[in-house]
A and B are shown apart, each in its own frame.
Chain A
Amino acid sequence: MPDVTLTVDGRKITAPAGTLLIEACKSAGLEIPAFCYYPGLSLQAACRMCVVRIEKVPKLATACTTTVSEGMVVQTETPEIQQARKATLQLLLGNHPLDCPVCDAGGECELQDMTFKYGAADSFYAEPKNHREEQKWSPVVYFDRPRCILCYRCVRMCGEGMDVFALGIQNRGSSSVIAPNVPSQLAGLLNSGEDQAQLDCEQCGMCIDACPVGALTSGTYRYKTRPWEMNHVATVCTHCGDGCKTTLGVRSVTDGSEIMRADNRDKSGMNGDFLCNKGRYAFDFANSTDRLTAPLVRKDGKLTPVSWEEALNFAGKRLRELRDQRGPESIGVIGSNRTTNEENYLLQKFARTAIGTNNIDHHRTADYVGFAAALAGRVDATASQRDVLSAPAILLVGGDPTQQAPLTAWNIRSAVRLNRTRLYVANHQDIKLKRQAKAFAQVAEFGYGAFIDSLAGSEAFATAVRAEEKLVVLIGNELRGADLAKLIAVFPAAKVALLADYANSRGAADMGLLPDALPGYQALGSSAVAAEYDAPAAPGKNLVEMFDAAAAGQLAALYVVGSNPVTRYNVDPATLKATFLIVQDMFLTETAILADVVFPSSNLYEKAGSVTNHYGDLQLVSKAGDRAGVRSDFELIVRLADKFGHDVKQLVPFGKRQAGIRADMGQTRGAQAGEADRHAVWLTANSMEPKLSPFDPFAILDEIQRLVPGYDKLLRLQLLSGNDQHLAPAAGSLVQIANRNDLVLPSNDTLFTSGSLTAYSPMLQDVQRHESREVADRLAAD
């Protein structure tokens, strides 16, 4: 679109023709107030706040529905306009309860802000306000009707944005009210009583986020605190592989910092406006009273709280003894999908260089080794999360992003809705995204190989997909090994991504939590890392083999960091009887309960570092919450290595390496790793080398950049500024391992589960109960 020039409040501004006036003004730094306007949603022109005076237009015009044109002359803040806005506010406030002192939105309410701006302080009305009782729509969504200003953002967000259509408008005129749409199957069951209103939806809470006032409030946050009593920390959600930025509101409590809520007020993330149920509410595991806050050592068969010194000493020395007595091949290490890249890198380095074994693995939720192998030699072949939103065409093979990668689903829907992206879906199930698809190919269960073969054929689906020039191919975790390679080979020019499950599944694979590949999927025998590590050249035991070895009495010790393989892989607890088991976890999981030593560790919301989402987008995680008595996994690995008798400086290149300069143990910057980002930005800006403590994850970032192919491209300033950056996975000499299908075990989480954490999130439990009630009601109605 060509640019047009218009005059706004005497200023010449330029915008592409067809731009909405309200957006053109925003770009020029002129804010036009609006309640109902929300970028990306359909236009309403209902609130009449954005009225402006346009020359040659007889009435005041709404800036949200007017497109700019050449020579347009606009006034946005004349006395006439201010009066119009003030009068509208007076009308709204006439029925508003004005319970701002207790309202959740108090302090971050658009109605408050506008009233403050336009000074609608006088009231003319003697009559009582219209009132309705507050309603609980679901465990996470409450509705306070009197506060509602009927901007319909929630209705559109739910319908257009989420494709759920759980909300509608009841009645008309001044009786109009937002209400859950009752599914037709339930209509007969529900009484007309308003307290029956229930939301049958994805419980994403997007309606609450879009609400400009305090009408929709969060079931987990309401009436808990005031916005100004919290610090707001933008970090990355731990739950799925999409990598949404979530802003955690934290408040100091006696034993640390409690996370009060999560939202997406920081819209700089790749998720923009979006957060799903888990990203918004499922931080509550961090506040669980079940959290471990003291190290445990098994004494007389019972796990007993002991001091950190005792626990670390015992674990380190025993591990060393066993390694020395029974050899490094008898020790196993299992890492996590939810720990940072730095922690994952450090863990495998500890296993390979300190213990001297390749017996390291993690719970793999997608075949990233196969993925990297299939992409070997290709440049710019991977899609970023942001690519999904701008792709002209998307092919989705397998997977169900609506359940497992909600942001990917949101971006696909947004792309189809806003950019007319052509979506092709091939799946063995009728996944919800079929509704947005231009074409759907039914795949037989376990029949993806045959489907890929059919893509060479002449069927309409195949020809349409092949005709796409700029294609993004999203691949579900059903596809592994040969299938994966075959599919990627069909589209040599496409950008591809492989969808996995948790915040750092991709990072765990990239960082080399694999028995047969070094960081960056480099070969064990000969590569830059191998040369530096001096690790064994033979592949170690994978996760399944470790438990087999344990059952055979050949696993002397197992070190499990942030993982619950006993449940996930259905391990018979008896197999670990003769194995010395060290577990680092937040909770006494089914694995931890079998351990000889348990270290209470912090979670992703309580530490700094970086994670890589399933697209390969690297992001910073920042420390938000804090819990007295826990340590980060990074610190624990370093301390264990120290007690193990390893030279910590070999493990973490902290401090200055020049002779005569003492290592900086954190004195120069405070011990809080969470402050690393700000401090390091300052140091970098001043051309100074950050001095790092051995417990600071950034101490190892240099080494990751130096040794892990793909990560060499990362820009530290981008990372520390909180921006996401897309990294291509390693290319070049990649290991080829046959038949790794067994090792990939997708967790297939739904919107309301998150692996082992599910059990520790009261919110997820509540929502599941709500969900099962809805289903039961529906069955009863049938």
Chain B
Amino acid sequence: MNYNSGFIFDIRHFSIHDGPGIRSTIFMKGCPLSCIWCHNPESIGFHPETYVRTNRLNGKIFHITETVGKKMSVEQVMNEIENEIIFYDESKGGVSFSGGEPLSQPNFLKALLKACHQKELHTAIDTSGYASTSVIQNILPYVHLFLFDLKLANDSEHQKYTGVSNQLILKNLEFIYHSGKPIIIRIPLIQHITDTDENLRKIRAILQLYPHIKRVDLLPFHTIAKSKYERFGKNYPLYHADPYDSQKAKDIAAFFSETVETVSIGG
């Protein structure tokens, strides 16, 4: 694999939920997890996929085949990023790498992070935490902020709903924490799966081990992703689930607020 290129499935500017200020988010394709609630089903596979897009015009339907995911060079991605520097500067924003799982393309990610570092840009990694610790160690000098997911505290539940064990994830959290890099914890709220009293209590207990973590973002389940599953012709186990109850999200936020300085709903 060429270190200077990798697979990207989207680049979004004026991204507002993935770290401080106005940011660009680079969505890297491919993820080792397969969370049943995944909002970006097209991000899981590591290679480009084609799908049929539906455009409507004048009551008529037009189908066009589109490819999601493309191979891009560091230079191509940096061109897109550099265009937006004026907005990062003004808002104290920067670049976020999300996915998929950005840590799954370690060399490409590192090359991008180094290029951002050279331009003195703020960088954030939005990660499941599922990667070899040496990968994290390798990129650490070039990262300013981790957005780190905690989904399920119980390992067998974690395996059941995401397809992988959480042991490595918890180890990496500890590793990053001791490196001193700022961390924002993100917890997806999925009815009856991640939002059980037991799971939330356990996650809070984990967080209490890391008193310098100042912020938790709660990401309540929403139904909008189901259009994406339809578009990509994928099966969505949560197709019939209701949107998350906003009062319940507020109650959970209050629960975390007892031990964490800032808790936000929706990131």
A and B from one complex: no
Chain B residues within 8 Å of A, Cβ to Cβ: none
Residues of A within 8 A of B (CB): none
